[in-house]
Amino acid sequence: MGKKLIKLNALLTAAALGIGVCYTLPNYVMAGKGFVWITETGAVSFKSECEDLIIDGAEVATKVYNDEYPGYTGEGFVWVTNSGTMSVKVDAPKTGMYRLVSRCLMYLGNEGEIREAGVSVERSDGSTWSKTVKIPHTNSWNDFSFGDIKLTKGENTVTFGGGWGYCLYDSMTLTETDAPDYSKATAELNDPNATPEAKSLMGYLKSVYGSHIISGQQEIYGGGNDGNSELEFDYIKDTTGKLPAIRGFDFMNYNPLYGWEDGTTERAIDWTKNKNGIVTASWHINVPINFENYVLGEPVDWKECSYKNYQASNSTFNTANVLVEGTKEYDYFQAAIEDLAEQLLILQENNVPIIFRPLHEAQGNEGNYGDGTSWFWWGDRGAEVFKELWKMLYTTLTEKYNLHNLIWEFNSYNYSNSPTWYPGDEYVDLVAYDKYNVDNGRDDGLTSGPNESAISAIYNYLVELTDGRKMVAMSENDTIPNIENLTVENAGWLYFCPWYGEHLMSERYQNADTLNEIYNSEYCITLDELPSDWLSAYVNGSSVTTTTMETTITIPVTTLENTTNVSTDTSTLTTKQTNTETTPASTSESIATTTETTWMTTTTTSTSPSTTLPLRVKLGDLNLDDGVSVVDMVYLNKYMVNIIKFNDQQKCNADCYSDGVIDSSDASALMQFLAQQIDSFPVGS
């Protein structure tokens, strides 16, 4: 089958124009081609029937063999077999993230089965990107999200389908993705008896969440690097001139089997008390592999221990028994907690709070073992045992050992069943993810070298895991995401923390230039940039003023002559067009048309001062870029729902209906203008 090439048409339908208030979703009637519209939040959205896209290697159908699939919209659906694809050319109004959703039906397979499909993009700047998604089998039409895709301003070609999908695609939308609402994340700790230092640390974290990323670095433990625990930190200092604000530790060496002092606790105290840095810690707690014959309290060589799951280590340690009082597993775990608590208490006595990340990566390995469990023993009996284990650790450390210097950080994944592993809001203060995507699961379109993606799709997943109630951190990583990806993708990770060794110091995982760039950026907080009083000044975390990452389009301010004389009272502002000639909108092949209008001289009358001043007003140009496009519609919608404010110039330009007030009449006039229903703005009463 040949290519079916149908261009998306940018016209807004007449049906869209009859609405009174344009920021509610218009009741579109599909006219057979694509549409651009404005969502409730002011985002630009592109919508099309899949049968109207550029189709390659697939066919438009209304049934598959003799099977009917009723409920499709438009003239049918695209039946993708083998490697067929659908493409759409999108004129993105700005560089940013756009979510691709397709109404589709994976008709092959059975309940619970998945098929792979691909999505790729050729951006206006020449860069490319692709990834594989997994579409679950369904019996009816469903909205499936391909995730968030970065587009650059201008024409991008987005192609989806393919892989081994054998899927039916009905329609698609591509919608500008808003930044998460960082303000929803709590600054409160669950522990009502949290120490002032722990509260202040949490308050400080909240104060920078969404507007900055805090630098972190894991140290090696147990005498690695020939005992040089500063190796990674010296490397960072040499490369960037800076040091990380957070230092990662691990309490692995304090255990009932072979435990020995490797200086972890002492270095943690030194990091906070003498260096003014923040401490985070994980806990690779080992168990004896031959647990059946293990006698509690006896030493075991570290080679005879493991933190791996029983399937990999052949350990006879039954994790489920940890929850059962009277079992040897229970007694062993209690002894291990005692060793850990001893160290944590030393930190508490020294007023050192800890971002504590025990039992991490519990769902690791995506359920690739027989019973769907992880690579660490604490996850190897499934989600229910894990969650009880987490709660037991939480309760024991908090209530039995009176440890209140802990900020409890839960390590999650982004699998479809990851929510079933979440211990619950009342046991979790922070959510975190460990990013390792250089060797597997790349999403940056490259095949080797550092992967500087900000993995915003995963970030968004983790935000949504708690409906934004918990801050989300990158608790371990290989490549640190670069600044552009972090900010363009609205991936507001609280901090990053590369694992030790080659993850930081080899070209395979980290570009030294990128490391230098992020450590010396405004966006990244380094050790020297931590407030000197972060241990005490943010105790009332919730009252700390927070800032959020810049998410809206930057509005260039046009300097006007006599701007001080322009009335800012829109209720008395009247504009009259003396020149209503406009250049007819060009017939664009792309979705977001940009039409050029001429500057119009208008007369503005205001009551105070009661003088008449000539003012150059360009109706409809709300982002002040000299053009009128769908982006201006976005601005107007955002203004009308109080998401952004207008300056005086923008207020003048917004009165498209020329009746002295900014309301739905202006939105309607602007929509008609963009749809080329009118070629000049009307004059209201």
Region of 169-177, 197-205, 344-352, 524-532 interacting with Ca ion (CB under 5 A): 169-177
Q: Is 621 in the site for Ca ion (CB under 5 A)?
A: no
- Residue 52 touches Ca ion, criterion: CB under 5 A: no
SS3 track for 558-613: CCCCCHHHCCCCCCCCEEEECCCCCCCCCCCCCCCCEECCCCEEEEEECCCCCCEE
Q: Cβ of residue 69: shortest distance to Ca ion, in angstroms?
A: 11
Q: Which is nearer to Ca ion, 49 or 489 (CB)?
A: 49
CB of 75 to Ca ion, least distance (A): 7
Smallest gap, in angstroms, from Cβ of residue 74 to Ca ion?
Answer: 4
Strand 406-411 versus strand 354-358 pairing type: parallel
Minimum CB–partner distance for residue 56 and Ca ion (Å) = 17
Are the C-beta atoms of residues 58 and 86 closer than 8 Å to each other?
Answer: yes
Scanning 161-291, the segments in alpha helix (DSSP H) are 196-208, 231-240, 264-273
CB nearer to Ca ion: pick between 167 and 362: 167
Give the 3-state secondary structure of residue 74: coil
Taking the complex as a whole, the smallest distance from the CB of residue 30 to Ca ion amounts, in Å, to 9
Which CB atom, from 77 or from 459, has the smaller least distance to Ca ion? 77
Query: 59 vs 122, which CB is nearer to Ca ion?
Result: 59
294 contact partners, CB below 8 Å, separation of at least 6 = 288, 300, 328, 332
Residues 6+ apart with CB under 8 A from 642: none
Asked whether the beta carbons of 279 and 355 are under 8 A apart, the reply is yes
Of 74, 263, 468, 501, the residue at the interface with Ca ion (CB under 5 A) is: 74
Q: Please classify residue 305 by burial: count the beta carbons closer than 10 Å to its beta carbon, then call 0-12 exposed, 13-18 middle and 19+ buried.
A: buried
For 324, other C-beta atoms within 10 Å of its C-beta total 10
Part in contact with Ca ion (CB under 5 A); list of ranges 1-9, 166-174, 204-212, 433-441: 166-174
| Side-by-side strand order, sheet with 612-617 | 574-577, 600-605, 612-617
Beta bridge partners, 575, equal: 604
CB closer to Ca ion out of 62 and 127: 62
Q: Nearest distance from residue 307's CB to Ca ion, in Å?
A: 51
Per-residue binding string, Ca ion, 488-507, x by CB under 5 A, is --------------------
For 393, the token pair is 């650790």
Stretch that binds Ca ion, among 18-26, 70-78, 455-463, 466-474 (CB under 5 A): 70-78
Q: Which residue pairs from 314-318 have beta carbons closer than 8 angstroms and sit at least 24 positions apart in sequence?
A: 314/289, 315/287, 315/288, 315/289, 315/290, 315/291, 315/377, 316/289, 316/290, 316/291, 316/292, 317/287, 317/288, 317/289, 317/291, 317/377, 318/291, 318/381
Binding range to Ca ion, per CB under 5 A, among 84-92, 123-131, 165-173, 664-672: 165-173
- Single residue of 91, 170, 262, 452 touching Ca ion by CB under 5 A: 170
| Pair type for strands 594-595 and 628-629 | antiparallel
Q: What is the largest CA-CA distance in the chain?
A: 97
Residue 49 touches Ca ion, criterion: CB under 5 A: yes
Stretch that binds Ca ion, among 66-74, 119-127, 317-325, 519-527 (CB under 5 A): 66-74
59-92: string of b/e by CB count within 10 Å (b at 16+)?
ebeeebeeeebeebebebbbbbeeebbbbbbbbb
Among 47-55, 377-385, 446-454, 666-674, the segment contacting Ca ion (CB under 5 A): 47-55
Task: Report CA Rg, the chain.
Answer: 29
Residues 234-237: contacts with CB within 8 Å, 24+ apart? 235/504, 235/505, 236/504, 236/515, 236/519
> Which amino acid is residue 604, in one-letter code?
T
Contact region with Ca ion (CB under 5 A), list: 72-80, 282-290, 317-325, 570-578:
72-80
Contact window for Ca ion (CB under 5 A) among 164-172, 440-448, 492-500, 673-681: 164-172
Which residue lies nearer to Ca ion by CB, 73 or 664? Answer: 73
Segment contacting Ca ion (CB under 5 A): 44-52, 233-241, 359-367, 500-508? 44-52
Contact stretch for Ca ion (CB under 5 A) within 67-75, 187-195, 392-400, 508-516: 67-75
**Nearest CA among 428, 474, 502, 573 for reference residue 248:** 474
Considering beta carbons, is residue 79 or 294 the nearer one to Ca ion? Answer: 79
For helices 328-349 and 264-273, angle between their N-to-C axes, nearest 10 degrees:
30
Cβ nearer to Ca ion, comparing 60 with 662: 60
Shortest spacing between CB 51 and Ca ion, in angstroms: 5
Nearer to Ca ion, 87 or 479 (CB): 87
Cα 467 versus chain centre, distance: 12
Nearest approach, Cβ of residue 49 and Ca ion (Å) = 4
| CB nearer to Ca ion: pick between 49 and 148 | 49
Site size toward Ca ion, by CB under 5 A? 6
Q: Which residue is nearest to Ca ion (CB)?
A: 74
Q: Nearest distance from residue 165's CB to Ca ion, in Å?
A: 16
In angstroms, what is the minimal distance from the CB of 72 to Ca ion?
5
Is 262 an interacting residue with respect to Ca ion (CB under 5 A)?
no
Using CA atoms, how far apart are residues 477 and 454, in angstroms rounded to an integer? 11
- Decide whether 174 or 220 has the Cβ nearer to Ca ion: 174
Least Cβ distance, residue 52 to Ca ion (angstroms): 8
The tokens for 527 are 């050790």
Which positions touch Ca ion (CB under 5 A)? 49, 72-74, 77, 170
